[in-house]
Structure 1
Amino acid sequence: MSAPAVRTGVWFIGARGSVATTATAGCAAVAAGLHPAAGMVTETPPFADSGLPALTSLVFGGHDTTGCPLPKRAEALAAGGVLPHGLPSAVHAELAAADTGIRPGGPLPGDSRGDEELIAAFAADLTDFTHRNELARTVVINVASTEPLPDPGEQRLPASSLYAAAALRAGCPYVNFTPSTGLRTPALQDTVADCGLPHAGRDGKTGQTLLRSVLAPMFVQRALPVRAWSGTNLLGGGDGAALADPGAAAAKNAGKERVLADTLGTAPEGEVHIDDVPALGDWKTAWDHIAFDGFLGARMVLQTTWQGCDSALAAPLVLDLARLVARAHERGLSGPLPQLGFYFKDPDGGPAALFEQYQELLAFAGTLRGDR
């Protein structure tokens, strides 16, 4: 008899949200050969022999505070043009199977449990999922809506940190694809240092900041001083509603501004504004206005417009990260993974420019292969 196939768990925080639903449906579609793996860097030749878990071996579950089943959520995304027409029906079985692995998140209003009780409950859900599905490991990925930064002196951990602490307690590698606090709180500093697990974050780089990380080095390398860099985001859906909160928007913008400051050496004038436009649904428009000086002080301007679907941009990156971090755990790596800065606005160290980040990622593929 052949040995049973090794399977890897992917546990989403925000498992019924747009990004997680798109990733779950997309994984099933690509694995079945229904669609190409557009946007998945781990499906390109440099990663072919890095030992990454196969898409067919991924098992999905997660935490969420909403009760809409994944198949219904996928149908709504298809109606909005996020998923291809007919895809929810084609991968209904996979979506339904993943939905059975979703557990109630929290804390919800009226929940009287303290932080320790919540962490223990979330960790128990993870352990049960891993054991029940006979998984080699489970990677926890936060793709929930952005939460505001905690108030100074706040005694309770934010929800993102409760989930992150539960992941470490359950022995699960962790990825924070959001700007929320996650592991980056002093309360978890010792836990993170002692956990012996790989982790990566923070805040996925999908659109406007992706473009900034390409353009900013151009100005530096061509010795063109940037005088101001302003931006506007128009978006709807769950992200638009969440980022209408000034605290959540501030957390989101911090990562966008960091890319410019790290690359240019100083933060230029200008701000990023985020406007909630519910009619846009899961689609967004990002506009940048860049004022810079040319030879002899000639004043010039570059404007860019990015229109896209955040869920479709984020989902392949999330699947990449699940595979890369799972393999890193299999290889015995631990601690922060700055080599994955290619995927984040606010990474765990490393270069800020996308080209250099990509070179780091390719080198990491070699590490996962066992080249060194």
Structure 2
Amino acid sequence: MWLIGARGSVATTAVVGCAAVAAGLQPATGMVTETAPFADSGLPALGDLVFGGHDTATTPLPKRAEALAAEGVLPYGLPDAVRAELTAADDAIRPGGPQPGDTRGDEALIDAFAHDLDAFRRNHDLARVVVVNVASTEPVPTDGDRLPPSSLYACAALRAGCPYVNFTPSTGLHHPRLHAEAARSGLPYAGRDGKTGQTLLRSVLAPMFAQRALPVRAWSGTNLLGGGDGAALADPAAATAKNAGKARVLADTLGELPDGDLHIDNVPALGDWKTAWDHVAFDGFLGSRMVLQTIWQGCDSALAAPLVLDLARLTARAHETGLTGPLTELGFYFKDPDGGPSGLADQYAALTGFAARLRERS
């Protein structure tokens, strides 16, 4: 696994979690690929995964893990128990970019990132490398002459022959200049924007209203979060990119986007924890006015990390079996998937069907 944003909270939690579950120190809670429908599907074992990545941050993974444990994100003492795995992963992290003052053009940056991927695969004698973007959300690109950072990394993955997963709402492979290159690559890819909390709940509730013929008049929401995501999403342009995926779930399921706004507020004191509120106004029989309100409180990286591991294993197996193009069956994991159904139950059916398909190829 090559993680873009490799020293962030999600990446750190994924590395710690993979090592802890592989060693039997912790259960595989939240990992869908460790449930019965995925048995014998030929997925790579957790103990066989090797980690590296790109990041502009310099705090070593062991130190980042200690900070997450101090915040209650990771169990006390677990970073020490998997320190060797954290150190090995940190040793494989390379400088990301472009950093301030970097005068290299897009092609030079893409070549440098692709070279890092080739060296990682060669140095560890790996069968394949799956690139997963877990970096902070970037604004919607406005400079038509330059690719945004997420697209530079995505293009580098294609050139290095690596399957690609975009767990963020950033542009990645969705940039129009990369469509043809993605099609030519013959690689599987999936995305975008991991569905971990509020939108996960929306993808369950929206089909309920549609199937019970209950018109939704308005659907409003608020997110309070801190950490790197909170700081990144304080930028209105980045928040707009994030909210687009949340809105798509409602529009696709209900047929149109209901009235109502979605707010994202940066609360640094929350750290890696977040709270999400939803207020749904809907009509009942004979026009009776009704309301549903929900509160979701959770730890974002602990919600995301098992999904990141799932996606890497599924995409690696898809690559091994020769599958190419967008993996629509992985829509279960995304707010803004590359096709497929929008309701969570239908997405889960597609995912388990994909597991059976992989099993047949074993």
TM-score, L = length of structure 2: 0.99
Cα distance in 2 for partners of 1:307, 1:278 equals 16
RMSD: 0.8
- Corresponding residue for 1:39? 30
Equivalents in 2 of 1:188, 1:257: separation in Å?
25
Q: Which amino acid aligns with 1:357?
A: Q
Q: How big is each residue's C-alpha offset from its partner over 1:137-156, in whole Å with a ceiling of 9 and x where there is no partner? A: 000000000000011x5210
- Summarize the alignment of residues 224-243 of structure 1 with structure 2, pairs less than 5 Å apart: 224-243=214-233
* Counterpart position of 1:167: 157
C-alpha separation between the residues in 1 aligned to 2:29 and 2:345?
Answer: 19
Aligned counterpart for 2:282 among listed residues 267, 292, 312: 292
Report the Cα distance in structure 1 between the residues aligned to 2:20 and 2:247, rounded to whole angstroms.
36
Letter in 2 for 1:157: L
> What corresponds to 1:29 in structure 2?
20
Q: CA offset at residue 369 of structure 1? A: 1.0
| Counterpart selection for 2:347 from 357, 361, 364 | 357
User: 1:48 & 1:91 partners in 2: Cα distance?
Assistant: 26
Deviations 1:221-257 (A, max 9, x none): 1100000000000000000000000000000000000
CA contact (8 A) 2:10 2:302 kept: yes
In the alignment, does 2:302 pair up with 1:312? yes
Task: Report the Cα distance in structure 1 between the residues aligned to 2:66 and 2:279, rounded to whole angstroms.
Answer: 37
**TM-superposed deviation, 1:371:** 6.0
Supply the AA of the counterpart residue of 1:38. Answer: T
Aligned to 1:187: 177
Q: What are the equivalent positions in structure 2 for 1:104-115 lying under 5 Å apart?
A: 104-115=95-106
Deviations 1:9-60 (A, max 9, x none): x000000000000000000000000110000000001111000000000000
Deviations 1:154-188 (CA, angstroms, capped at 9, x unpaired):
21000000000000000000000000000001111
Rounded Cα–Cα distance in structure 2 between residues aligned with 1:66 and 1:371: 40
Q: How far does residue 271 in structure 1 lie from its aligned partner after superposition?
A: 1.2
- Residue 366 of structure 1: CA displacement? 1.0
* Unpaired stretches in structure 1, ≥5 consecutive residues: 1-9
2:76 matched to 1:85? yes
Is structure 2 residue 229 aligned with structure 1 residue 245?
Answer: no
User: In 1, Cα distance between the equivalents of 2:179 and 2:273?
Assistant: 37
Letter matched to residue 37 of structure 1? A
Name the structure 2 match of 1:15: 6
Q: What count of residue pairs does the alignment treat as equivalent?
A: 362
Q: Which residue of 2 aligns with 1:67?
A: 58
Aligned to 1:146: 137
Preserved CA contact (<8 Å) 2:321 2:361: no
Aligned counterpart, 1:201: 191
SS at match of 1:288: strand
SS of the counterpart of 1:259? Answer: helix
What do the CA deviations read for 1:67-107 (whole angstroms, capped 9, x no partner)?
Answer: 11000000000001100000000000000010010000000
2:207 and 2:346 mapped to 1: Cα distance?
A: 10
How many Å separate the matches in 2 of 1:196 and 1:92?
37
1:234-290 alpha-carbon deviations (Å, 9 max, x no partner) = 000000000000000000000000000000000000011000000000000000000
1:334-353 matched pairs, under 5 angstroms = 334-353=324-343
The residue aligned with 2:110 is 119
After the TM superposition, which parts of structure 1 deviate over 2 Å for at least 4 consecutive aligned residues?
none
Aligned-residue offset at 1:190: 1.1
TM-score by length of 1: 0.97
Q: Distance in 1 between matches of 2:347 and 2:261?
A: 25
How many Å separate the matches in 2 of 1:371 and 1:140?
Answer: 23
AA aligned to 1:145 is S
Q: Which runs of 5+ in 2 are unaligned?
A: none
In the aligned structure 2, how far is the partner of 1:12 from the partner of 1:371? 27
Q: Distance in 2 between matches of 1:59 and 1:166?
A: 19
- SS of the equivalent of 2:296 reads strand
Partner-residue secondary structure (3-state), 1:233: strand
